[in-house]
Amino acid sequence: MPVSFRVRNPVTLAFSCAFIIVLLQAAVVLGGFPATLTLERAFPVNHIIELSKLRDRDSYRHRRILQQQSSSVGVVDFQVEGTYDPYLVGFYYTKVQLGSPPKDYYVQIDTGSDALWVSCASCNSCPTSSGLQLPLKFYDPSKSSTSSKISCSDQRCSQASQSGCSNNQCSYIFNYGDGSNTSGYYVSDLMHLDTGSSSSSTNVVFGCSTWQTGDLTIRDRAVDGIFGFGQQGLSIISQLSSQGIASDVFSHCLVGSDSGGGILVIGQIMDPNMVYTPLVQSQSHYNVNLQSISVNGQTLAIDPSTFAISDNQLGTIIDSGTTLAYLVQDAYTPFVDAITQSVSQSVQPIILNGNQCYLITSSVSSIFPTVSLNFAGGSSMHLRPQDYLLQQNSKSMGGGAGIWCIGFQTSANQGITILGDLVLKDKIIVYDLGNQRIGWSDYDCSSSVNVSTGGRSEVVKGGSGQFGSNSSLQITRYELILMLIIASLLHFALAFSGSSN
């Protein structure tokens, strides 16, 4: 949002006046333009230089340009809102700026898909309002001076996810795991990036959605689109990395409390307690090799092949676009049985809507066991009770009692284990594409983090993104140009008035 010039706000007015004075001073310098630039030759006139020396000089200059380019790779920071709690929001989302002039679009963070897409102006089934109190917008290619459609013959069309061709226009159809669908066409336009101390923009390819079904159309939790952070096709992380704008690693740290929010950066969050496991090669998702599950330190009797990738099994996937967590049936049953047996003396097990739940009268942390997910490479992800349980807020019994249910669900007949936000929250998760590995560590995601990229390190604040919290001091490029014009006019008006007197 622009700086406010309302007279009823004295602090804002003082800031605005000071800003205009600075602009006036800048206009005086520009108007006088007293500087003289001198061109100095690298070699004297009529002096014969060997070609090899010229090549050496050019080579040095080219290395310097490349070094400057590589050092420009910075941390790209996205504000995060939302929460894992399905009774509140059920997902995390961020804001992206697209087009010229730039407009804000709120998109769900999803590491289980590749493409970024937003609702298009020609969409008839897209939601027009959101129960999340977000100002939904429709992207209109005709209203952006930097927008262009991707033709079927464009090389980028063949690289894009689920691409097809319609009327010589590169199109797509996305089918999501919850049964929702969207289709549309690909466009190229500017994405405006927050790189900490500065901002930049670059052309990226993304989807313009003209049709949506399923949960995508539900108004209660509607957003403008989905931000796919996958590693295939023309995902934004792949595009920015190939352009040398950002590194090929990104990280998130999702706050698990009701306030939600968190951190999402293109860069590697550094933590001394980070552990890693290799990514399974040649997979379209972020597959990892889960080998066993332990409850209270005891490894469950689950055949390791249960989690393997085969003709009818998809293995284990880390997916921020999934709210809960899912286990294949052969792992789900022994997991629930082990939890129930561990707490049978302290709680009352009950079945609620087909889910295993427990009536408790004290803190879950003092009753329920810790769980460990053990991966290839010897790394383990340790889960607290609140990382695998969900409180039934609507089922509060009063008097300190409450009902908590197993948040893990069974993925019967699907042969897939998915680790969603339920277990990813309150942890730093690093997707290191360059080294083909995923890392994690327990962390208070409301705290600041150190992010490394391109040989540099930056500090990124944690907690809720609070979209627009500093909007009163943000000025767009177009508003700045307008203010400069106004300042220049004021300068010449004052100069003309002075000469008349």
Q: Please, are residues 210 and 187 in contact by the beta-carbon 8 Å criterion?
A: no
Helix, strand or coil, per DSSP, at residue 22: helix
Rounded CA separation 3/309 (Å) = 54
Helix, strand or coil, per DSSP, at residue 273: coil
Helix, strand or coil, per DSSP, at residue 302: coil
Q: Are strands 103-110 and 416-419 parallel, antiparallel or unpaired?
A: unpaired
Contacts of 267 (CB under 8 A, 6+ apart): 74, 75, 76, 246, 247, 249, 250, 251, 451, 452, 453, 458
Q: Are strands 91-98 and 181-194 parallel, antiparallel or unpaired?
A: antiparallel
Token pair belonging to 11: 């602090």
> Is residue 110 among the annotated active site residues?
yes
Rounded CA separation 181/382 (Å) = 34
Rounded CA separation 82/163 (Å) = 30
Query: Can you spell out the DSSP letters for 133-169?
Result: ------B-GGG-TT-EEPBTTSHHHHHSTTEEEETTE
Rounded CA separation 284/231 (Å) = 7
Q: Which of 154, 224, 319, 387 is catalytic?
A: 319
Rounded CA separation 212/118 (Å) = 11
> Is residue 140 among the annotated active site residues?
no
Q: Which of 77, 110, 114, 426 is catalytic?
A: 110
Residue showing tokens 């101390």:
197
Q: List active site positions.
A: 110, 319
